Chains A and B, each alone.
Chain A
Amino acid sequence: MSALGDFARAYAAHAGLPEPEIGFEAELAARQAPLPLWARLSAGPCALAARWLAPLVFLGRPARFDDLEPANKDALLARLQFARAPLLRGAFLLIKIPVLGACYASRRKGA
């Protein structure tokens, strides 16, 4: 179980999205394979920080992302998405590319 996989599962559960047919780990691995090495290496630590550290930093809550109430999960994701610091938004993008790809893999053409 990877840090990215754990975050993807928690994200999907919050957004009400199903697990990909081939499972999160396989889907994420396939999506990360063509990315540059630096992006692959960075995604795990970024996901770890988003899941464990971000609730404390942005919401003042020493809790895992998974354990937050739905409204707080949305608030935390919004803080990351709406971050004005380019590096922070860039780091969140490194998680979003594989995770959102995997989470929305079964939802094509608005179906």
Chain B
Amino acid sequence: MKPDFDFVVAGTGAGGAAAAARLAEGGARVAVLEPGPRATPQPDGTRAVALYYANAGLTAGFGNGLFPVAVGRTVGGTTTINSGTCLRPPIDAVARWERTIPGFDAAAFRADVEDVWRTLRVKTVPAERAGASTQLLFRGLERLGVSGAHYLDRAEDGCAGDGRCCFVCPSGAKATAASAFLEPALKTGNVELKAGWRLVEAIPARRGGLAGARVAGPNGERRTLGARGVILACGSLATPYFLRRIGASAGDGLTIHPAAKVFARFDETVEGWRGVPQAGGFLDPEAPRLRFEGAFVPPEMAPLTIPLEGRRLRAWIEAYANVASFGFLVRDAGRGSVLHPVGADMPFIRYTLADEDLRLMTRGMRTVARAYLAAGARKVLLPLNRPDNEIETPRALDAFDWESVRAAELQLMGFHPLGTAGLGRVVGSDLAAAPGVYVCDGSVVPESLGVNPQVTIYAFALGLARRLLGGRA
């Protein structure tokens, strides 16, 4: 039987788009499924969330707290709604994978990372384009004598500093999986993008025959596509659904990089919505599992992210032009799992924030709060859902009862779900889950990275494509 395509790729995020692009460049005919729409810039961030985030931004984990998780559901996947920040995978993690995962080729992986770096045209944010939130934090760190803060590397070409990276880049300058990989691949003529189509079931190959993908179209039509291989790139929250249907034991080992941000009110005008929101960052020199990164949401999103209510909330919104914010994320020791009682699109996420992660979260908020107060902030607002979350002096910050903080009080978010089909646990170093069925998204990342994971995921995709082409790409 002749295959409909050489490969069917489900998902157009970092994993799916990069794999599809390299397979197509190598001469393979590829069908790419994307259930979400093509994203267009929206003047209102809340509308972008409703249209292009999975479950309209309502994806959340439950456990010893409430853990919203942000993932994209649009052409380009989460890269369309991320900050564009690029960080290489940690050296210690790659070394560990080489030691513990049979067949993992660290040298080839590192080469793929550099390939990704070039393709995304990664460049360091120039100081003049950094948002004022970052500048103020850097000022505070300098006054405290804390070194190591730096401007971050981002995937962009011609960024205008519109400050809305996470709500679809208005200028299109941010390099996404769609713009950097998928769009060029479509020009080869070897890729058929099936927008509005979703995977129903992956079918492993039997006795050296074809694999297949049962797919559903936007009008409910069903088809089965035969192919040499099916690549699952639906993201860490959806891919385990398809893996379990073919008998793989996926869904455990979820990490989310719990993250939060501290708000600070200044007398001076900040207008944090101007410039690159995630322009700067640094690693905690004494707690390397704690990474600080810029974070600022546009005014229309602020009421939903500020942990206050009623008139206290209004006071902060009224002063939002004078508000700065900066975030942090934890390379989590805690783990979660994902189940799908009603299908791939509605994950049921369980997650437990580990005690050691909670301590790092409180350390993170203390560090940012201290820096902003040193920079001249009138008051800071901690990401805690409790009445005493506004602090006005360094002394009050030191006197705060940090030991009393509970995971359930944190106003946090997970931005990088990873690990639900971990390399070495669920898939082998060839990323195969079954004959003819491969996985290529955040789910294969074997552990919490502590860095924004898009470069790592892209690199896994390039390696998979090269292997599937027999080393030709």
A residues lining the B interface (CB < 8 Å): 14-17, 31, 34-36, 39, 70, 73-74, 77-78, 80-87, 89-90, 93-94, 96-97, 100-101, 103-105, 107-111
Contact = CB atoms under 8 A, between A and B. Distances in A.
Contact of A78 (B300, B303, B322, B387): B387
6 contacts: A15-B314, A31-B46, A90-B66, A97-B58, A109-B271, A109-B320
Nearest to B319: A110
A83 to B, nearest CB: 7
A73 B51 CA distance: 33
Nearest to B320: A110
A83 B309 CA distance: 12
B406 A84 contact: yes
A85 to B, nearest CB: 7
B321 interface: yes
A105 B47 CA distance: 12
B385 A83 contact: yes
Nearest to B61: A86
Contacts of B303: 96, 100-101, 103-104
Interface in B286-306: 298-300, 303-304
A90 B67 CA distance: 10
Which 8 A/B pairs are nearest by Cβ-Cβ distance?
A110-B321, A110-B320, A34-B50, A77-B309, A84-B408, A86-B66, A81-B309, A100-B303
Q: Main SS of the interface on chain A?
A: helix
A82 B299 contact: no
Interface in B143-160: none
Given A14-B310, A14-B311, A74-B311, A109 B408 contact: no
Contacts of B319: 110
Given A35-B50, A85-B408, A110-B299, A104 B317 contact: yes
Contacts of B57: 97
Contacts of A34: 47, 50-51, 56
Nearest to B67: A86
Contacts of A94: 58
Contacts of B304: 93, 96-97, 100-101
B128 interface: no
A30 to B, nearest CB: 9
Given A16-B314, A110-B319, A104 B386 contact: no
A103 B309 CA distance: 13
Given A35-B56, A86-B65, A103-B303, 6 more contacts: A14-B310, A31-B46, A34-B47, A70-B311, A80-B309, A81-B308
Max chain B C-beta neighbours (<10 A), residue from A73, A80, A82, A90? A82
Contact of B299 (A39, A73, A97, A108): A108
Interface of B: 46-47, 50-51, 55-58, 60, 62-63, 65-66, 271, 273, 298-300, 303-304, 307-314, 317-323, 385-387, 406, 408-409
B299 A78 contact: no
Contacts of A89: 66, 385
B311 A82 contact: no
A73 B58 CA distance: 26
A90 B69 CA distance: 13
Contacts of A36: 55-56, 58
Contacts of A104: 300, 303, 317
A26 B414 CA distance: 32
A74 B385 contact: no
A85 B299 CA distance: 28
B310 A101 contact: no
A100 B311 CA distance: 12
Max chain A C-beta neighbours (<10 A), residue from B46, B57, B60? B46
A110 B318 contact: yes
B411 to A, nearest CB: 9
Given A104-B300, A109-B299, A110-B318, A84 B58 contact: no
Contacts of A16: 311, 314
Contacts of B323: 110
A65 B120 CA distance: 52
Nearest to A73: B310
B388 to A, nearest CB: 10
Given A90-B66, A109-B273, A110-B317, A74 B56 contact: no
A73 B321 CA distance: 27
Nearest to B60: A90
B299 A15 contact: no
A78 to B, nearest CB: 5
Contacts of A78: 309-310, 312, 387
A86 B55 CA distance: 18
Nearest to A88: B66
Max chain B C-beta neighbours (<10 A), residue from A31, A39, A77, A86? A86
Nearest to A108: B299
Contacts of A85: 408
B314 A81 contact: no
A86 B408 contact: yes
A107 B321 CA distance: 11
Nearest to B389: A82
A96 B406 CA distance: 23
B321 A15 contact: no
A49 to B, nearest CB: 16
